[in-house]
Amino acid sequence: MKKRILTAGPYVGGKEEEYVLDAVKNGWNENWNKYLNKFEDSIAKYVGVKYAMATSSCTGAMHLALQSIGIKKGDEVIVPDLTWIATAAVVNNVGATPIFAEITPDSWTLDPSGLEKKITKKTKAIMPVHLYGYPAEMDRIMEIAKENNLYVVEDAAPSLGAEYKSKKTGSFGDISAFSFQGAKLVVTGEGGMLLSDNEELFGIAGELNDYGRANKVTATIDRIGYKYRMSNLQAAFGLAQLENIDYLIDCKRNIFNWYDERLRDIEGFKLNRELKNTKSIYWMTSLTLDSRISTSRDDLMKRLDKEFNVDTRPVLKKVSKYSMFKEADNPIAKRVSETSLNLPSGVCLKEEDIDYVCNSIKSIIHNR
């Protein structure tokens, strides 16, 4: 295989060029936010919420979300112990403490029973993560939040289009955030989106994202704010991407099914698959190796890279293992982070690419 098979990569069609060129030529002065407004309105309608605000990153959106609900120094926010560092980092950024809870062994999302054990008098919010496009168990998480008077901030970064009981991720919590970073399903290069049905919280977030300006006419500043705005050019690209989202999700699900057909009968392999009452977008097809496979996860990745020109990624690290935190005792998160990898899952991959990846994997484990 001369051409490297990459882990991720977007689909870019003609609409992206058309919309971005229009924004370049005409998106100034009174038209400065034409595509921003369209992108925000389209995302809100697609997810099924009232309000959406495009931001420069999902991290920025989550920062605004935590500030809008009043999270501050001395508070605790419960997060899953398997996620990208940004989930915990934004909690630290507002002066609060991230509390790391266990994940489920199947979806790798926040385990409701583990969540309950972590609630204290200092707990103010829960941040479930729909990891790799697999929905968390939102019914039970929302019940627990209501029982304990806690906010729910959905880190829906990699899950646009995923569903739990026919309802889109990002529409359950008090406030939520998506990512459009270049490896995601829908991309804007870098970018994010904050969503909510709560007018008050959304208003606070909007003011914070405008330098704390309460009155745009007089430029009155009520509080210290930020500038996490997405550009109109990025929004033009994102709108074109969103118009293709059903096709993109079909591509991701087809890729998973191709892997499943080729790897399901190998003892010691387990693909992370959607659970009952959920629809995953399979942003990443992930593979776990157990003790029946003599090749380690890391060795498999190295050989795929050097011998077959196949790019893979280790599943995210157990966050509490990072030196800036105190490690939590979450054995499932530890096992998954040490034994699992993300297979090439870019939307433009073809069936013959998946054939090649699977045959390469089989060659390595059978010739150990």
The CATH number of the domain where 345 resides is what? 3.90.1150.10
Same domain, 56 and 165: yes
State the pLDDT at residue 14.
Answer: 92
State the pLDDT at residue 145.
Answer: 98
State the pLDDT at residue 159.
Answer: 98
Q: Does residue 267 belong to any structural domain of this protein?
A: yes
Q: Does residue 136 belong to any structural domain of this protein?
A: yes
37 closest CA partner among 47, 24, 51: 51
3 state SS of 163:
strand
Residue 314: φ, ψ to 5°: -65, 145
State the pLDDT at residue 2.
Answer: 72
Same domain, 329 and 186: no
State the pLDDT at residue 217.
Answer: 67
**pTM score, two decimals?**
0.96
288 closest CA partner among 308, 273, 307: 273
State the pLDDT at residue 222.
Answer: 84
Beta strands 278-279; 269-271: pairing state = unpaired
**Sign of the CA dihedral with 228 first, then 231, 236, and 240 last:** negative
Same domain, 108 and 218: yes
State the pLDDT at residue 319.
Answer: 98
Same domain, 216 and 268: no
State the pLDDT at residue 207.
Answer: 94
39 is in which domain, residue-wise? 14-242
The domain total for the chain is 2
The CATH number of the domain where 144 resides is what? 3.40.640.10
Same domain, 184 and 113: yes
191, 212, 242 — which closes off a domain? 242
In this prediction, the residues of the chain whose per-residue pLDDT falls under 50 are none
pLDDT digits (tens, 9 = 90+) for 110-161: 999 999 999 999 999 999 999 999 999 999 999 999 999 999 999 999 999 9
Q: Does residue 2 belong to any structural domain of this protein?
A: no
State the pLDDT at residue 45.
Answer: 98
**For residues 262 and 209, what is the distance between their CA atoms, to the nearest angstrom?**
47
